[in-house]
A and B are shown apart, each in its own frame.
Chain A
């Protein structure tokens, strides 16, 4: 039960964080679509790529802060998901209809997924540290940062896809998967919508505040 609650809490938080990160990275993504490259290998490279784009540069710093939290939350989610599936696989009641060979195969795959999940956390953390070095210093040069970024994506998505496949194919948790996917998309969308409306909301609140102060000062001198 605790494991499942932790898993659900982590997926909700990870969804919210990915909503923030997507929102922050949206302008950059649009520019990438227009053909601009944001690949960086050194501090000098970073300064050059982001020259004249202070808002994107600021967004990179903010993204890094949230990504540092995201990697742990998503990592814990992956690990608890694998552990939940392992406990289902060990539960005689739940896997009565699954062949013994398949159960052995699932155990083996889940162990691999567990290792990959841990590898994801390490790779993302490492990438963030390298990127942080590049951004905050002027004399850093690294090789293979783009490769690490791609590797991180692979390590992040592989255990998720593996777990979903096992959960769906063998444990037939179709409904659970479906409604969690809907909730994740819902949270991501709400976070992005609210963040995009934030300037408007802040403006409305500021106006309300101004009216309030005007009313108070008029009424009470």
Chain B
């Protein structure tokens, strides 16, 4: 393991900046600091530990993706950690995967990570969001970062040129020689623009339909993870994938590995089934569009790598595959691993046993794109139908970037706004990508009611693909996360959670 740099575990910087903030609509509750301090008396879990005389509560934590809106996740994590919450199992997609890998990699398991994360994401020399748009095509880069976004900018320029070429310029060319010259200049500009578009489309195909290589993002992850002592999956596993066994006598969990963390079980019924073991891990969700399935890394990494090879992989590669926004970033390509694997004496192919894909149909490689294409909020990874009384809760955070629907009723009749073609396509894609998560939540409404918090980032009006954020916008996103976490923790009732969770089992 590489030497780890000193990490910031103090909340001072964040508190100095935002501690006196009062949120709109919650003025009577007081400042952020006051509200967070009031949480100190609350219980959030039966799995606890002691750290500098303060009680820590351990929970599972799952985070949704949302592009650059992921700044809000750091704000959310900050409040949880300030309230003494620490994380057992972690999972996330896309931006959620980025936060997940750092929560797993920074410091020791019981250290608060958000102060270091905050320092990182608000320091442009460490976290250069604009730099992640790393296409070498300067014009394309400007079209992404400026104005109304890539598609609208392209459409706008093309339509303006077509409009000019169709009507006013031919008319102008009949006015005189000067008009002909102008027509000529615009014709050259039009031809250059058309040629540029054709070239881009050709390049697009050779780049696996990704505008940005995403190399700078991966390099950033590798650099930062190396700073935290992580250069391979094995090193991250040693830090974040721990197994604890229960010591019934003193109601504590002792780590079976190198970690010295000792967790306490604050439940009366220590002999309950399923209470003997406890584990921590991390998961990133990605989508293999070539083999047509959802992939959870590193759990299913052996679909692409042999056992020893996988351990040498840098986790940055997994996160990069989880955040490969289709068309925006180049997909991540992993060669498929189809060797036979012994499983209790029988010989099986992992693709067949894990994914139900006939080995003959497994493609030579996987094309991995953003996990959010199939499951942007993988809370189902933590669902355990076997348990009755939980020892710890699952906390999930969603990034909501769409305003709630406002229905308009005129003369007692609900008006239906006509849908544009673009909106139709968008809704179709959203239905496919949200289907798995929504179906799970529909079957298990408990999670929606007791585990999930929603960060209302639509209030900031910031697009999830705005890679040109100002510091004010970053602050606004961070504070949205803070506010969502405060509201969630203030309402959270661990005893009620346990009762309601038992009802799922009974039902």
Contacts and interface: CB of A to CB of B under 8 A. Distances in A.
A134 interface: no
A9 B175 contact: no
Contact of B177 (A1, A4, A16, A198): A198
B175 A13 contact: no
B156 A191 contact: no
Contact of B160 (A9, A66, A69): A9
Contacts of A130: none
A47 B179 CA distance: 27
B156 A5 contact: yes
B146 A175 contact: yes
A24 interface: yes
A96 interface: yes
B476 to A, nearest CB: 11
A67 B159 CA distance: 25
Interface string B130-166: 0000000000000000110000000010011001100
A191 B160 contact: no
A6 B176 CA distance: 24
Interface in A1-28: 1, 4-6, 8-9, 12-13, 16-17, 19-20, 23-24
B14 interface: no
B160 A65 contact: no
A198 B181 contact: yes
Given A4-B156, A5-B159, A73 B168 contact: yes
A1 B146 CA distance: 17
B186 interface: yes
B147 A12 contact: no
A62 interface: yes
B185 A13 contact: no
A65 B173 CA distance: 12
B178 interface: yes
B257 interface: no
Given A12-B164, A13-B168, A23 B156 contact: no
A5 B160 contact: yes
Best-surrounded residue of B168, B177, B181 (most CB of chain A within 10 A): B181
A195 B178 contact: yes
A188 to B, nearest CB: 11
Given A5-B160, A16-B186, A93 B461 contact: yes
B412 to A, nearest CB: 26
B156 A65 contact: no
A190 interface: yes
A194 interface: yes
Interface of B is mostly: helix
B184 interface: yes
Given A8-B156, A8-B160, A65 B185 contact: no
Given A9-B164, A198-B177, A190 B461 contact: no
A51 interface: no
B219 interface: no
A143 interface: no
B178 A23 contact: yes
B387 interface: no
B160 to A, nearest CB: 5
Contacts of A24: 178
Interface in B46-105: none
A65 B175 contact: yes
B182 interface: yes
Interface in A168-221: 175-176, 179, 187, 190-191, 194-195, 198
A69 B172 contact: yes
Contact of A62 (B163, B168, B172, B178): B178
A66 B180 CA distance: 12
Contacts of B156: 1, 4-5, 8
A66 B156 CA distance: 26
B359 to A, nearest CB: 50
Contact of A191 (B163, B169, B177, B181): B181
A210 to B, nearest CB: 20
Nearest to B159: A5
Nearest to A11: B160
A195 B159 contact: no
A66 B163 contact: no
Contacts of A20: 178-179, 181-182
B147 A176 contact: yes
A16 B165 CA distance: 13
Contact of B164 (A13, A96, A195): A13
Interface in A99-120: none
Contacts of B168: 9, 13, 73
B488 to A, nearest CB: 25
A187 B185 CA distance: 9
Contacts of B181: 20, 191, 194-195, 198
Interface string A65-92: 1100100010000000000000000000
Nearest to B156: A5
Interface of B: 146-147, 156, 159-160, 163-164, 168-169, 172, 175-179, 181-182, 184-186, 461
6 closest A-B pairs by beta carbon, nearest first, are: A20-B178, A16-B182, A8-B160, A9-B160, A9-B163, A5-B159
23 contacts: A4-B156, A5-B156, A5-B159, A5-B160, A8-B156, A9-B160, A12-B160, A13-B169, A17-B172, A19-B182, A20-B178, A20-B181, A20-B182, A65-B176, A66-B175, A69-B175, A96-B461, A175-B146, A176-B147, A179-B146, A191-B178, A191-B185, A195-B178
